[in-house]
Amino acid sequence: MASERYNAREAEARWQEIWEDKGVFVTHNEDPRPKYYVLEMFPYPSGRIHMGHVRNYAMGDVVARYKRAQGFNVLHPMGWDAFGMPAENAAMQNKVHPKDWTYQNIATMRGQLKIMGLSLDWSREFATCDVDYYAQQQRLFLDFLAAGLAYRKKSKVNWDPVDMTVLANEQVIDGRGWRSGALVEQRDLTQWFFRISDFSEDLLEAIDTLDRWPDKVRLMQRNWIGRSEGLKVSFEFIAPPPSGEAALEIFTTRPDTLFGASFMGLSPDHPISRALGEKDPKLAAFIEECQKIGTSAEAIETAEKKGYDTGLRVRHPLDPSIELPVYVANFILMGYGTGAIFACPAHDQRDLDFARKYGLKVTPVVLPQGEDPATFNVGDEAYTGDGTIFNSAFMDGMSVAEAKDAVASRLEAQSLGGKPQAERQVNYRLRDWGISRQRYWGCPIPVIHCPTCDVVPVPAEDLPVRLPDDIDFDKPGNPLDRHATWKHVACPKCGGKAERETDTMDTFVDSSWYFARFTDPKNANPTDREAADAWLPVDQYIGGIEHAILHLLYSRFFARAMKKTGHLGVIEPFQGLFTQGMVTHETYRADGGWVSPADVRIEERDGVRHAVLVADGSPVTIGSIEKMSKSKKNTVDPTDIIETYGADTARWFMLSDSPPERDVEWTEDGVQGAWRFMQRVWRLVGEIAERVSRDAARPNDLGEAAVELRRATHKTLHALSNDIEQLAFNRAVARLYELVNTLSKALAAGDRAAGMDFAIREAAEYLVRMMAPMTPHLAESCWSVLGHEDLLATAAWPALEQDLLVEDTITLPVQVNGKKRADLTVPREASKEDIEAATLALDAVSRALDGKPPRKIIVVPSRIVNVVV
RNA sequence: GCGGACGUGGUGGAACUGGUAUACACAGCAGACUUAAAAUCUGCCGCCGCAAGGCAUACGGGUUCAAGUCCCGUCGUCCGCACCA
């Protein structure tokens, strides 16, 4: 038995069948044990799983199996984020129905996931395109609508001309659609929105409670919500513009610098700019030019600041004798604040660049500490720091904070056109979430448009609004919009002729509550409150950093909205979040373009790696290491790897070496190393099983060597448990390698004492149990070789003997002047005086002292000794 | 431009709250076993040096008995971004 190679293919299939037959991973809501909900971001059924999935799900499975062994009732479900455009693209390109395409992909990918041996509760599986799921989503929509959380408004939208759909602001990247890459156009459409901005403050504040989220993601969410406190101020026009406004409203976060104002800036999209542009062709041309600049921060930062003097003038609110010119400027956004600013060049870099270009006044009003007010000047760099206000009449001598408050108070009391001239305001960058998509393969928005009754929600008894199957993709645009019978219905209110809403929901809606549905996936309501509240929040959520903002923020919104509509009791869906790194691979190029690793053979000549084509031996250029992608052909198919080496090898390799939050490079050497280790463990356990019978008794006196081995075993258990808790899988892997090294040596030493037998047996059993979360099939096989008849998948985590973590003697490094010179072994309870004496007796120390007394001896208990000479 | 993270052998990386730098793995080298290869096993593997020893955690300073870890500056890499007034 022991000499046989471990046959992963045979063993993995066998254990998977046994686990499934016995239903060991099916979770019951009524199980009284403490709950643990671990969830990996569910996949889009694109066709085949990729290595990124393997890494993601291997991590989640380690946590699930570890927590299960610790006695938790673990929920570890899987489903499919199944609506979305690729299905429609496939329909257009290959004449496949999106539904067939999607469900076929799901079947393939489910099979691929199953051979990974993940401890998933497949009985809870669903796809977001299942009628059962989106029917509940429609009910949520109607509840949100009734609660005022969903509404319609006409708005300028980002129109993707390739996908023929609307994109959220967040989905437009550098002026292009995030999926299609097409240049986005502006269009006016009536759209459905979710009122996420109602929760701006709460979503922001609650970030503080998410202490098991990466700081990076929390920061990104804070910045996305973008809270800023400031003042809305009205500036009176000297002569009103043709559009008739009496005053210009601006928003500022620096009212303290108001006396440094030298001009006003309008966004090119500001209504006043527009109105003026209609009469001024030169301004119209300028506005058009501004709209052509890219929307990316980098493009605009490097773009030259430009403006156009409108000829309008406004009066300074604190000194009526000052008149300020009004420019249309290319660096002011309509979407933030009021789309207009007052500019203080001395204390804002953009304003300064602009003022220098157009020869406008630069008056410093904040004096940095240590500067002389008579000589302080601003060169090419604006001063944005703190200081004392000067050149500012009644504010002179105040701090920045005091001045902000003073200006606000004064202008609030002052009135212009019968209203206070200023108003304190909190602004958020976060805007409402537009969810309408002009697309077939999504969840239908359950409303009916009636010419007499306007928008009528589909009555509950008529739900769900099913997607019709008989559709065609011969023309671009939404097939629902031209569906003959589906679209035309009677109005539920008046019975007259009416039309269905033909827009479907953004697929981010689907993924915003699936974690809640998993808690009771077959319920006739969206959630079962008891089940949802018992399971949520998700204890550990694992997925890619690319979802750091949108998906996570929308899910947080949904939890709040579902609470408001009575579907949930919690507001934060994910207690712990972990964002894993990507899987990368070397790239290869031949003259024909990118070459797949499967077609390349690596040879080493004179210590230099060369790549050649397997087919004909022709040379291939080795390129940079990149994220695995179809476009660069540097992918490795998980199924191929699993067929060759087994799922455990693939899982082990994905968990070893690289810290999980960082990228990991897939290499053939690495996989083989992992595979060799699987074989090594198998041989080692086999040998031990032969040598030490299962009922090896524990003798009263174990002997020193056996105690040492036991220490190593239990120390490994202690450290590895901590590593898994922290998701430091690479460290956990290293500890198991160490234990195997130690155990191999102990076995090779040939000590046949009864104590050693006991210690070796224990080490082997612990090793196998510790490996189980990562390499579950191999562990089951080893467990059975060791004579166990129960399943390791349902066994408890091994018990830790705390006593073994503490040594009787400790070895202290001894430093002389901070450099290590010797080791000192002393009893654990040795006193400081004993240690000092023993230190001075060391050869290395006395040599360094050369007869002189030491200046100082520092003893850090159980850490180190440092002798200062 | 702004914000953030990071920089350790040939490579991926360890090093808990300042306390033995380089654990573990990959690659490489030498040897054992073998007719041979594969597999396996053993040993070596930061740099200089015969050695004693010295030098090394991007670079330059600083704090400390002690710095990969803390502080200041420089260089470099990566990530995020919204000209946010």
Give residue A169's pLDDT: 56
Query: Around Cβ A857, how many Cβ atoms within 10 Å?
Result: 17
| A209 CB and strand B closer than 7 A | no
- Model confidence band, residue A300 (pLDDT cutoffs 50, 70, 90): low
CA angle A172, A173, A176 (to 5 degrees): 75
Q: Which nucleotide is nearest to A340 (CA to C1')?
A: B85
Overall fold of domain A682-805: Isoleucyl-tRNA Synthetase; Domain 1 (1.10.730)
Q: Which of A242-246, A474-478, A819-823 has the lowest mean pLDDT?
A: A474-478
Report which of A55, A99, A203 is spatially closest to residue A585, judged by C-alpha positions: A55
- Model confidence band, residue A298 (pLDDT cutoffs 50, 70, 90): low
Amino acid identity of residue A196, one-letter, is: I
CA-to-C1' span, A640 to B11 (A): 25
Give residue A320's pLDDT: 92
- Model confidence band, residue A336 (pLDDT cutoffs 50, 70, 90): confident
Give the start-to-end residue ranges of the domains of chain A.
Answer: 33-148+199-224+452-580, 150-194, 227-428, 583-655, 682-805, 809-868
ipTM of this predicted complex?
0.93
pLDDT of A781 above 50 = yes
What's the whole-number mean pLDDT along residues A386-408?
Answer: 89
Q: How far is CA A125 from CA A58, A107, A402, A558, in A?
A: 18, 12, 59, 21
Q: Which nucleotide is nearest to A812 (CA to C1')?
A: B20
pLDDT of A496 above 50 = yes
Strand B proximity: list residues 565-604 of A with CB under 7 Å: 604
Residue A851 exposed, middle or buried by CB count within 10 Å (0-12, 13-18, 19+)? exposed
User: Average pLDDT of chain A?
Assistant: 88
CA-to-C1' span, A671 to B28 (A): 18
What's the whole-number mean pLDDT along residues A385-411?
Answer: 89
pLDDT of A1 above 50 = no
pLDDT of A210 above 70 = yes
| A4 CB and strand B closer than 7 A | no
Q: Which of A89-93, A210-214, A752-756 has the lowest mean pLDDT?
A: A89-93
| A825 CB and strand B closer than 7 A | no
Q: Which nucleotide is nearest to A265 (CA to C1')?
A: B85
CA-to-C1' span, A578 to B73 (A): 35
Residue whose entry in the numeric block shows the structure tokens 């000829």: A311
Alpha-carbon torsion (A103, A105, A107, A109), positive or negative: negative
Pick the CATH number of A809-868 from 3.90.1150.10, 3.40.190.10, 3.40.50.1110, 3.10.20.590: 3.10.20.590
| A300 CB and strand B closer than 7 A | yes
Question: Is A627 annotated for ligand binding?
Answer: no
Q: Which nucleotide is nearest to A581 (CA to C1')?
A: B79
Higher pLDDT, A572 or A602: A572
CA-to-C1' span, A354 to B1 (A): 15
Give residue A162's pLDDT: 77
Chain B nucleotides close to protein (CB under 7 A) are 1, 3-5, 12-16, 19-21, 23-28, 39-42, 54, 65-67, 79-85
Give residue A575's pLDDT: 93
Give residue A22's pLDDT: 96
Give A647-667 as a 3 state SS string: HHHHHHHHHCCCCCCCCEECC
- Model confidence band, residue A583 (pLDDT cutoffs 50, 70, 90): confident
| A493 CB and strand B closer than 7 A | no
| A676 CB and strand B closer than 7 A | yes
- Model confidence band, residue A835 (pLDDT cutoffs 50, 70, 90): confident
The pairing of strands A577-580 and A540-544 is parallel
Coil, helix or strand for A765? Answer: helix
| A730 CB and strand B closer than 7 A | yes
Strand B proximity: list residues 838-857 of A with CB under 7 Å: 856
Report which of A522, A434, A486, A492 is spatially closest to residue A136, judged by C-alpha positions: A522
| A556 CB and strand B closer than 7 A | no
Q: Please state which CATH class domain A583-655 belongs to.
A: mainly beta
Percent of residues, chain A, with pLDDT higher than 90: 53
pLDDT digits (tens, 9 = 90+) for A603-643: 776 666 778 888 888 888 888 788 888 878 888 889 999 99
What's the whole-number mean pLDDT along residues A163-189?
Answer: 67
- Model confidence band, residue A820 (pLDDT cutoffs 50, 70, 90): confident
Residue whose entry in the numeric block shows the structure tokens 């540097």: A634
Q: Contact, A256 vs A411, CB < 8 A?
A: no
CATH architecture of the domain formed by A33-148+199-224+452-580 = 3-Layer(aba) Sandwich (3.40)
- Residues 6 or more apart in contact with residue A485 via CB below 8 angstroms: A468
pLDDT of A504 above 80 = yes
- Model confidence band, residue A2 (pLDDT cutoffs 50, 70, 90): very low
pLDDT of A560 above 90 = yes
| A738 CB and strand B closer than 7 A | yes
CA-to-C1' span, A173 to B82 (A): 12
Tell me how far apart the alpha carbons of residues A508 and A503 are, in angstroms, rounded to a whole number. 15
CA-to-C1' span, A472 to B68 (A): 63
Tell me how far apart the alpha carbons of residues A134 and A150 are, in angstroms, rounded to a whole number. 17
Whether A809-868 and A682-805 are alike in CATH topology: the answer is no
Give residue A296's pLDDT: 47
Six-digit token string for A458: 């589909």
Strand B proximity: list residues 415-434 of A with CB under 7 Å: 429
| A658 CB and strand B closer than 7 A | yes
| A695 CB and strand B closer than 7 A | no
Higher pLDDT, A472 or A497: A497
What's the whole-number mean pLDDT along residues A214-222?
Answer: 88
Tell me how far apart the alpha carbons of residues A464 and A467 are, in angstroms, rounded to a whole number. 9
| A809 CB and strand B closer than 7 A | no
What's the whole-number mean pLDDT along residues A529-533?
Answer: 97
What's the whole-number mean pLDDT along residues A813-824?
Answer: 83
Q: Which nucleotide is nearest to A847 (CA to C1')?
A: B52
| A680 CB and strand B closer than 7 A | yes
Q: Which nucleotide is nearest to A170 (CA to C1')?
A: B82
- Residues 6 or more apart in contact with residue A862 via CB below 8 angstroms: A810, A812, A828
CA-to-C1' span, A634 to B83 (A): 38
Report which of A67, A211, A169 is spatially closest to residue A727, judged by C-alpha positions: A67
Q: Which of A102-106, A332-336, A746-750 has the lowest mean pLDDT?
A: A332-336
Q: How much helix, strand and coil, in percent to the nearest 5, is found in chain A? A: 40, 25, 35
| A677 CB and strand B closer than 7 A | yes
Tell me how far apart the alpha carbons of residues A552 and A549 are, in angstroms, rounded to a whole number. 6
Q: Which of A165-169, A485-489, A633-637, A799-803 has the lowest mean pLDDT?
A: A165-169
Q: Could you identify the residue whose CA is nearest to the C1' atom of nucleotide B81?
A: A297
pLDDT of A115 above 90 = yes
Strand B proximity: list residues 156-175 of A with CB under 7 Å: 170
CA-to-C1' span, A578 to B70 (A): 28
Q: pTM here?
A: 0.91
| A228 CB and strand B closer than 7 A | yes
Higher pLDDT, A850 or A197: A197
Tell me how far apart the alpha carbons of residues A400 and A407 are, in angstroms, rounded to a whole number. 11
Give residue A573's pLDDT: 95
What's the whole-number mean pLDDT along residues A558-563?
Answer: 95
Strand B proximity: list residues 65-104 of A with CB under 7 Å: none
Pick the CATH number of A227-428 from 3.90.740.10, 3.90.190.20, 3.30.70.270, 3.40.50.720: 3.90.740.10
pLDDT of A717 above 80 = yes
